[in-house]
Structure 1
C-alpha cells in the first residue's frame, strides 16, 4: 500500500530521506559552473502524502504504458478491520457485497488523464463505513455525541470487540474513538521525530 511506503520512508526503512548522501558520493563535487550541492538539490524536506504518491505512480504508469494490477479490496478491507479491532467476520462479507454492487470489477489507482479519482484507501474505507452504518444502525441523530458522553465505559471500549458477545452502536463508537486517539497519538510522535530529523 502507498501508506506503507510512506510509513517505511518516515521510519527510515526506505532510504527516501537519506538517498541524497549516496547521490553525493556518486556524483562527486559540484562543478564550478553550477556550485549547488547534491544535498540542496535532492534532499527531500518532507514525505509525500498518500494521495500524491498514488497520483504520481498512476501518472508515471500511464506515461510508460504500464498496466497496473487491480487493488485487492478484500485484503485491504480485512487489514483495516483488523487494525481497528472490529469484528471481521461480521462486517467484511457485507463490505464485499457493497463493493461488488457499487464499484467496477477492478479498483484502480487514483489519477487518470480524463478525470479525478479518489485515493484507493478512501474508496475502501468509505465502503467499510457504509457497511458499519447499516449493520450497527448508525444514522446520525447525535449517536456519536451520545456515545462520547458515557465516559465510564470509555476505557472498556479499547478492548478487542471480538472478545465481547456483541457490540452495540454506542459501544462501537466508543471503541472507534479510543482507537482513533491511539493512532493519532502514534502518528503525532512519528511526525515530531521526522521534523527533528529533517531540521
Structure 2
C-alpha cells in the first residue's frame, strides 16, 4: 500500500493519529503539500463519497472522516499558507439569519478548504448585510448559503436580493444547501445551484471556479 493510500485509508477510518503520522512522513519525504491533500487526504473522502451517496455511511461518520482530514490539514497548514497565493479561488460560506445549525456548514467548509480553496466562514445566524459586506471585502468566486430549518429557507431569498441590490450579483455564483431544500426552490430564489450534500458542494465549487 502506498503512503497516499495509507493516508486515504486513515481518513476513511477516522484515525486521527494515523492521519497526522502519515501526513508528517510524506512531508518529511519531500512530497508537495497539495499532492498530499489531493492524493492522500482527499483520496480518503473519495472512498467516503460513494458510500455516503449510497446510504452506507451517515453524517456522523462522514463528519468523523472530515475531522480526520482536518487533522492532516493542521499538519500541512504552515506549508499550505506559504503557497496561499496559489489558492484556486475564494469560497464564502454561512448559515443564514435565524438558523443556528452548523454541522453541515462545517463539513462543507472542511471539504472545500481541503480542495485548495481559500474559505471564508461567516458562521451561523448570518444576516444578509453581513454576506454583502463580506463579498465586498473578500471578493469570492462562490457564495454558499446554508439552512436546516424550513422557517429560515426564505431568508436565502433575502440574501440573494440584497446581493442584487448591492450590484454584486454578477460577480458571484450562489449555491444553496440544507436538509429542507430542493432543486426547484434553489431555482425559484435565483440561486445558481442546489447542493444535496457537502461532497456535491465541493464538486460544484471546483467546477464553477474551473470555468472562470
**Coarse TM-score class (shorter-chain normalised):** under 0.3
Q: TM-score, normalised by structure 1?
A: 0.27
Judging by fraction of residues, say which structure has more strand. Answer: 2
**Bigger Rg, which one:** 1
